[in-house]
Copies of this chain bind each other. A is one copy, B any other.
Amino acid sequence: MQYLKAVLDGIYSDAINAKDKGIVASYIPELAHVDKNNFGIHLRTLDGFEYGVGNFNTLFSIQSISKVLALSKAMALIGESVWERVDVEPSGHPFNQLALLEIENGIPRNPLINSGAIVIADILLTHLKNPKEDFLQFVRDLANDASINFNLEVAESERNTGFKNYAAANLLKSFNNLVNPVDAVLDFYFHQCSIEMTCSQLSKTFFFLANKGACLKNVAHLKESQAKRINAIMLTCGFYDEAGEFAFEVGLPGKSGVGGGIVALLPDQYTIVTWSPGLNKKGNSLLGMQALEQFTTKTKLSIF
């Protein structure tokens, strides 16, 4: 354990001294104003060890990381039926997301790209009684932490600038792959993405995916086979057009968000979360990617 602490300390030290810290997302003011010198990392193992360094207790916007949680809830609700409306293949080139949607008749390539996550949001909207409240409660239950919340300013800003998401949702609707009205689906989606957590909270929240579907309090939220499949999707689709790179360099299932967070996990062993707001050219946290690559290289704790 001392060794793991030393590895994390070393990663932190490299990160705060890094010259290139990437570029903070600027499309909404709430993200643009975050200081890119923040860096947090938190490791939580299944046998009870945990250790955080840096800003691991600072709240940040989890953004696309929420897609994994929404997918988990959708699978818990309707099981394999999810796959009638969304595929499980990597998305390839990033510029042609809408193109692929057109070619493939409105079936998104996977649930972790925006169009796929919008379909998942539509499913949740149909199957949850009070969609936003119930989803938030699901996340709080996973983390065993009632303080987790939406950031309503972020949700509102996304709503005002999310034209590409409106484009995707309308395209899905034109292919009859959206049941609820576009505005209702995106209202839910923007709230889901606005959830704020700390590295420490996220490593708790994602514990169930490393633990065969059961959360820290040992409540089974998913079947073991479902947890495995979500891990598989994270590995092949969790990092946009850099999914192969992440599998190649890091070798863990994971998911990044434009707020600078990355969650990753080794089944049966640990969850790990990094937060560094500066992004690389492909939209993933620059120092977070490097930190995780260092972690699995040094510890040899990857799936491969």
Contact = CB atoms under 8 A, between A and B. Distances in A.
B251 A228 contact: yes
A238 to B, nearest CB: 11
A133 interface: no
Given A167-B98, A236-B247, A304 B103 contact: no
Interface stretch (A84-92, A139-147, A199-207, A254-262): A84-92
A88 B293 CA distance: 15
Given A95-B103, A96-B99, 11 more contacts: A88-B244, A88-B248, A90-B244, A97-B102, A98-B99, A163-B173, A166-B170, A167-B170, A170-B170, A228-B304, A232-B304
Interface of A: 87-93, 95-100, 102-104, 109-110, 163-164, 166-168, 170-171, 173-174, 182, 224-225, 227-229, 231-233, 235-237, 241-245, 247-248, 251, 253, 267, 297, 300, 302-304
28 contacts: A87-B244, A88-B247, A89-B242, A90-B90, A90-B236, A92-B93, A95-B102, A96-B99, A98-B99, A163-B171, A163-B174, A166-B166, A166-B170, A166-B173, A167-B170, A167-B174, A170-B170, A229-B248, A232-B248, A232-B251, A232-B304, A235-B247, A236-B243, A236-B244, A236-B248, A267-B304, A303-B303, A303-B304
